[in-house]
């Protein structure tokens, strides 16, 4: 199990590095990772943030995934995800 966790951690680091360059597919991959729990426990706030950013960068299915995820989230969680996306944009 430890080796699998290391692989997941490496994959997330690669996606994040690519996301910082504006790679829309990396943004989407981060959303999937957090939504499915591939990065550990599912984190819907983080997933919504990454799907939002991916959708803004032209990944059409990211908007659909974001909408599906939002149906499982509270208003406060969605607001937190939107705030996190705005903060990401302000710094990258």
Q: How far apart are CA 48 and CA 82, in angstroms?
A: 8
- pTM for the model: 0.90
What is the reported pLDDT for 5? 52
- 49-90 tens-digit pLDDT: 999 999 999 999 999 999 999 999 999 999 999 999 999 999
What is the reported pLDDT for 52? 98
Specify the number of domains making up the chain.
1
**Structural domain range at position 63:** 2-91
* CA distances (Å), origin 49, targets 1, 4, 17, 18, 56: 28, 25, 16, 16, 11
């Amino acid at each position: 199990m430890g080796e699998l966790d290391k692989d997941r951690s490496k994959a997330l680091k690669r996606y994040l590095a690519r996301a910082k360059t504006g790679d829309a597919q990396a943004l989407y991959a981060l959303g999937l990772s957090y939504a499915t729990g591939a990065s550990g426990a599912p984190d819907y706030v983080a997933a919504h943030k990454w799907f939002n950013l991916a959708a803004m960068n032209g990944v059409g299915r990211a908007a659909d995934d974001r909408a599906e995820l939002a149906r499982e989230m509270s208003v406060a969680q969605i607001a937190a995800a939107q705030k996190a996306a705005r903060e990401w944009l302000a710094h990258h």
